[in-house]
Amino acid sequence: MREETFRAALACLTDAIHAEPMASWFGEGWRASVDGQAYYLGGAGEAGGLVNAHYGREPIVKIYTTITDRY
């Protein structure tokens, strides 16, 4: 998964949701929330000596998603 393809897919999904008439029942799309999901990659990795306060020594990748009051 590449960042540019993830962004493009998320933009398409957001546009489709905002185009639905019923979406306006939930708000105008001015409020948003962002959350990151951490996925463990396994193994010690190159940065095995580094310690992340939340995830320890395990190598991870984080994917952030955004939701608005239209969802």
Average pLDDT over residues 4-23: 84
- Total residue length of the chain: 71
User: What is the domain range of residue 62?
Assistant: 3-68
User: Is the pLDDT confidence value at 68 over 60?
Assistant: yes
**What is the total count of domains within the chain?**
1
The pLDDT tens digits of the residues spanning 33-61 come to 778 888 887 766 555 556 667 777 777 78
User: Is the pLDDT confidence value at 8 over 80?
Assistant: yes
3-state SS class at 62: strand
Characterise 56 by phi-psi region: left (phi > 0), alpha (psi -120 to 50), beta (else).
left
Q: What is the pLDDT at residue 62? A: 81
CB 39 within 8 A of CB 61: yes
